[in-house]
Every structure is written in structure tokens, then in C-alpha cells.
Amino acid sequence: MHSWLLVSKYTSLKRLLYSSLVEAVNAYTQDTKEESIKLKKIPLYKGRDNSKILYISGVAQHLSKSHNSMTMEIADGIACQLLALGGDVFNVKIVPPGWIYLELTQSYLATWLENLAIAQTENDGKIIISEPSRQNLASENLANLFTIQYAHARCCSWVLLAHREELLKLTTTSLHYPELWQLEFPQPIPWLTQDNQLRLNQPAETYLIAILVQIVDDLMCSDASKKMNWQKAARELSQALENFFSQCRIWGEVKIASPELAQARLGLVMATGRLLRFLLLEKLVSSAPLEL
């Protein structure tokens, strides 16, 4: 069985940054006439600071051990290559004793969120999930499953309410199909302020975004030998969504005084709903009702 979750050409941010890191390391080792290390040894992990989407690599330490070179010097060399590749996708920073920090730019994060929230028309970035990857939930806690279904249904109800109140407008063909959600307006969702900063900067918002990023990374980049607990991941996403709902208003004064912020928050709800639906249908072998 194949699934439908379309996110972007580079669905996983970790995969995107890893490919840039591999290219930068190869370019650096060629320039310095040093033997390139095996790609599987290039470390990259997501930072724990949920206020930003940050990935950290210790590849310079690995290379310094192999080539008896100064770690900071190697890190600087790789960083120069990364800066040439990064463009508006990520910023690069070197932290002693040679950590390479890759922080996603606000503008690219907005693009990623847009592509997660709204169904795409092309197949670049389709997540393919085969039948053996599904998880048997016969012995799982059904109460937890209901919590996940409830979170999905709540996302759907809020998006449909926004459509009825004309805060956004879904296309007629996608109105009742969350996996196909398309917007007539706003296009794009106003994720960014006029100074190109993400509107979603409250702790509950940034935490929910961090969970979305982590789950998509796990879907695309998890070790084949590592068994993922997808119900736990979906439950954490549901809990992050509940915290978001309790901390971040969409209706009332926010809708009137800051409609762009309300629309950006609805975009985050759409992104979360689509990912919850994917997990329910494809990983938890369950239903994803539009209402409960």
C-alpha cells in the first residue's frame, strides 16, 4: 500500500540538511586533498531548543581524528562550503570545540509548513509507506487511540469553522477531504511578518512545530533497525496540539485585530491535522473521523 502525504521536495528537514552536509564535507575533503569519510559516519541530530529548528553535527571531530587536524579549522572549512550551499534555507554557526550548527531560516520554515498544511499537486516528496511498516495495535491502549482521533477531528472542525466564518476558504473539491486540503485564500498562508519573521513564536506554537518536524524526520530518516512507537509519537503530537489550543487563540479578538495571526495558527492546525490523519491511517491502522 502507498500513502498520500505530500509535504515538499525535501519532506524531511533532516534529510535536506544532511544532503547539504554530505556535499559540503565531500567538497572540503576534495579541496584539502584528504580522504572523504563514509557517509554513514556523518553525525547529525536535532537540537533540543524548541524555539528554533536547529540541527547539530560533530563531523569536524570525526575528521580531525581521522586526519590529525585541528577540529575548529576543519569545522570552519566545512562551514564555508555550507554557506555556499545554504542560501535562504539555513544559517551556519561554528561552536567550540568544533560543532557545526545548522539553523533553518524563518522563511524556509514557512515554506515547509505551507507544504505540510496544503496538499501539493506534484509527487516530489511523497512519503511512501509500505504495508510491513504498519503497526499492530491489538494490544495498545484504546483510550490513547481515541485521544489521537479526537485531536484529528478537532483539527477538522476548526478548519471547517474557519471556512464557514470566511477566515479562510477551502476549495469546493477539498472541503471534506483533509488529505486534499487546498485554499482559495489566503495564498500563501501568512506565516511571515513584513520583516520576514515567523508569526508563530509563542512557546506552545514553536513546540508544536518542533514535534511536527521531528515526526516527519522520523518517518523519512529513522533507522530501519529501530522500531518506532508511532502511537506514542501521535499521542505526543495530540498533546502538543491540545496545549496549543489552550494557549493560542484564533477566534474573537485575535480574528478581528490580527487576522493574519489567526490564519497562520489555522495553518498550523491544518498541518497537524494532516499529519495526525497520516499516522492514524497508515501507521496505527485506524480510522481518522472528521468529527466525534
Dump pLDDT digits (tens) for 226-253: 788 999 999 999 999 999 999 999 999 9
Nearest partner of 3 among 178, 171, 179, 143, judged by Cα: 179
**Which class does domain 13-104 fall in?**
alpha beta
Are 277 and 178 a contacting pair, CB within 8 Å?
Answer: yes
Which residues of the chain form CATH 1.10.730? 130-283
The predicted structure's pLDDT at residue 221: 80
Nearest partner of 233 among 292, 181, 278, judged by Cα: 278
Answer with the residue of higher pLDDT: 69 or 1: 69
For the chain, the farthest-separated pair of C-alpha atoms sits apart, in whole angstroms, at 65
The predicted structure's pLDDT at residue 66: 64
CA distance 269 to 181: 12
CA–CA distances in Å: residue 264 to residues 56, 156, 228, 268: 28, 16, 30, 6
> What are 103-153's pLDDT values in tens digits?
999 999 999 999 999 976 544 434 433 333 444 444 446 778 999 999 999
pTM of the full structure: 0.88
The predicted structure's pLDDT at residue 67: 63
pLDDT at 42 over 70: yes
Select the CATH number that applies to the domain covering 130-283 from these four: 1.10.730, 1.10.150, 3.40.50, 3.30.70: 1.10.730
Which residues of the chain form CATH 3.30.1360.70? 13-104
The set of long-range contacts for 104-112, using a CB threshold of 8 Å and a minimum separation of 24, is 104/13, 104/17, 104/52, 104/53, 104/54, 106/192, 106/196, 106/197, 106/198, 107/192, 107/196, 109/53, 109/191, 109/198, 109/209, 110/188, 110/191, 110/192, 110/198, 111/8, 112/7, 112/8, 112/13, 112/213
> What are 161-188's pLDDT values in tens digits?
999 999 999 998 888 888 888 999 999 9
Nearest partner of 209 among 264, 283, 286, judged by Cα: 264
